[in-house]
């Protein structure tokens, strides 16, 4: 079988697309291609033939037009059996691929209509209008595709209402990337970590506010700022001297940082598109065997409390945030137990080994 993954926006080594899905296809012995638009050239990596159609451009209009069309032309050249689309803008070419008798899958990484509603650069009336259009366009196209792979159960349920052939393939960790730490040095300094894109909505300022109130705590941040103004504001924050700025890390670097940390932070703003999301880093902290502090939204609270792997907090309440950090710092045995509970939950239910079987079955069914 010849499988072709398409993206006009994601990086070529995206964890969900390349590390998990493309590698899974290679493991099955399928001819696996990944078409990207990053201007980094063609290569073969881990058995995946990566084909580059040139820069996708930082300008949205060009990304939605020129890059999408370039991806489509390369996809047609490959003449694959299954096309797996990873960006909403690629829905504009999905029916063209279908018209050529191909099996076409859309991968819904996020709830697009909800995501649009939280875009800071859109006025409320603009966001509502675009969200309404996106919902109807998404529904219209996906009904005619061969399937939709959803990144969360919530997104799956949405597409089932559209009467789409849908499977939830959750973005859970690859256990082997996070070796289990059987013993931790409880006498070492207490350190927190945050890993991921650094943005206002992901709570960087609230993290710094809480850090400023917490004695004896250092915070390692691994990621890139998405806004120069925000970066300047963060670096001028009184708590910034406590920050270990790690920059962007490889997958191995992420695992090592988590192994050296005492607690992981995933305190995103509770915006509408995060209410039903499953943050990848939350599960990676669990896989690393460290407790976590997560935003108190019902979906996340249910997971954290049912597995007893950490604490939930209102990220805008800096005093409660600081109290949660102090609680874990002052109770190392409880923190260690939470970390072990999280690791057990990953091993039993929240791991890629289980999810990839659903992906394989979905492909085989098509």
Looking at the structure, tell me whether residues 270 and 144 fall in a common domain: no
Question: Are 326 and 203 in a shared domain?
Answer: yes
Using one digit for the tens of pLDDT, what is the confidence trace for 158-179?
Answer: 999 999 999 999 999 999 999 8
Q: Do 27 and 133 have their domain in common? A: yes
Structural domain boundaries enclosing 70: 2-172+351-365
- Tokens 């939470």 belong to 338
Average pLDDT, the chain: 94
Same domain, 361 and 244: no
Q: How many domains does the chain have?
A: 2
Instruction: Verify that 63 and 103 share a domain, yes or no.
Output: yes
User: Which phi and psi (to 5°) does residue 74 adopt?
Assistant: -65, -40
At 150, list the tokens.
Answer: 């959803």
Place of tokens 């896989």: 287
pLDDT at residue 183, rounded to an integer: 58
Q: Do 84 and 215 fall within a single domain? A: no
Same domain, 179 and 296: yes
**Is the confidence at residue 57, as pLDDT, over 70?**
no
Q: Is the dihedral of CA 275, 159, 79, 93 positive or negative?
A: negative
- 243 and 283 inside one domain: yes
| Residues 164, 185 within the same domain | no
CA distance to 56, 176, 180, 246, 340, per residue, from 344 (Å):
41, 14, 10, 28, 6
pLDDT for residue 59: 60
- Rounded to whole angstroms, how far apart are CA atoms 328 and 310? 9
pLDDT one-digit tens code per residue, 151-160: 999 999 999 9
What does DSSP assign to residue 351? S
pLDDT of res. 305: 97
pLDDT above 90 covers what percent of the chain? 88
pLDDT digits (tens, 9 = 90+) for 247-298: 999 999 999 999 999 999 999 999 988 888 999 999 999 999 999 999 999 9
The answer, yes or no, to whether residue 226 has pLDDT greater than 90, is: no
Query: Quick one: angle between helices 91-98 and 68-78, nearest 10?
Result: 30
Distance from the Cα of residue 165 to its chain's centroid: 23
pLDDT category of residue 60 using cuts at 50, 70 and 90: low
**How many other C-beta atoms lie within 10 A of the C-beta of residue 23?**
18
Q: Domain check: are 230 and 321 in the same one? A: yes
Rounded-to-integer distance, Cα 46 and Cα 54, Å: 21
Domain harbouring 36, CATH code: 3.40.50.2000
Same domain flag for 145 and 32: yes
Task: Measure the CA–CA gap between 246 and 195, rounded to whole angstroms.
Answer: 9
Same domain, 164 and 192: no
125 CB-near residues (< 8 Å, 6+ apart): none
Q: Is the pTM of this model over 0.75?
A: yes
């Amino acid at each position: 079988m010849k499988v072709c993954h398409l993206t006009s926006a994601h990086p070529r080594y995206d964890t969900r697309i390349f590390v998990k899905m493309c590698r899974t296809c290679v493991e099955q012995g399928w001819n696996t291609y990944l078409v990207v638009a990053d201007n980094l050239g063609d290569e073969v990596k881990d058995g995946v033939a990566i084909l580059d159609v040139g820069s996708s451009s930082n300008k949205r209009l060009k990304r939605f037009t020129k890059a999408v069309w370039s991806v489509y032309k390369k996809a047609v050249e490959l003449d694959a059996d299954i096309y797996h689309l990873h960006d909403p803008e690629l829905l504009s070419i999905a029916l063209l691929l279908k018209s050529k008798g191909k099996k076409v899958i859309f991968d819904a990484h996020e709830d697009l209509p909800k995501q649009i509603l939280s875009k800071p650069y859109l006025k409320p009336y603009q966001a509502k209008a675009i969200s309404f259009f996106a919902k109807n366009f998404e529904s219209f196209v996906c009904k005619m595709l061969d399937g939709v792979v959803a990144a969360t159960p919530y997104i799956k349920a949405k597409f089932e209402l559209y009467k789409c052939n849908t499977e939830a393939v959750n973005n859970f960790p690859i256990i082997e990337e996070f070796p289990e730490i059987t013993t931790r040095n409880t006498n070492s300094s207490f350190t927190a970590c945050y890993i991921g894109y650094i943005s206002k909505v992901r709570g960087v300022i609230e993290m710094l506010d809480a850090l400023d109130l917490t004695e004896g705590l250092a915070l390692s941040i691994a990621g890139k700022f998405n806004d120069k103004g925000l970066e300047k504001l963060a670096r001028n924050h009184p708590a910034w001297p406590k920050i270990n700025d790690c920059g962007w890390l490889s997958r191995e670097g992420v695992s090592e940082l988590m192994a050296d940390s005492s607690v992981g932070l995933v305190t995103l703003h509770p915006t509408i598109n995060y209410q039903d999301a499953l943050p990848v880093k939350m599960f990676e902290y669990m896989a690393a065997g460290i407790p976590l502090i997560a935003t108190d939204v019902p979906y996340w609270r249910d997971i954290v409390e049912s597995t007893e792997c950490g604490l939930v907090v209102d990220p805008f309440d800096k005093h409660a945030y600081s109290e949660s950090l102090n609680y874990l710092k002052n109770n190392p045995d409880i923190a260690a137990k939470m970390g072990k509970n999280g690791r057990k939950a990953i091993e039993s239910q929240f791991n890629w080994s289980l999810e990839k079987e659903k992906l394989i079955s979905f492909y085989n069914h098509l």
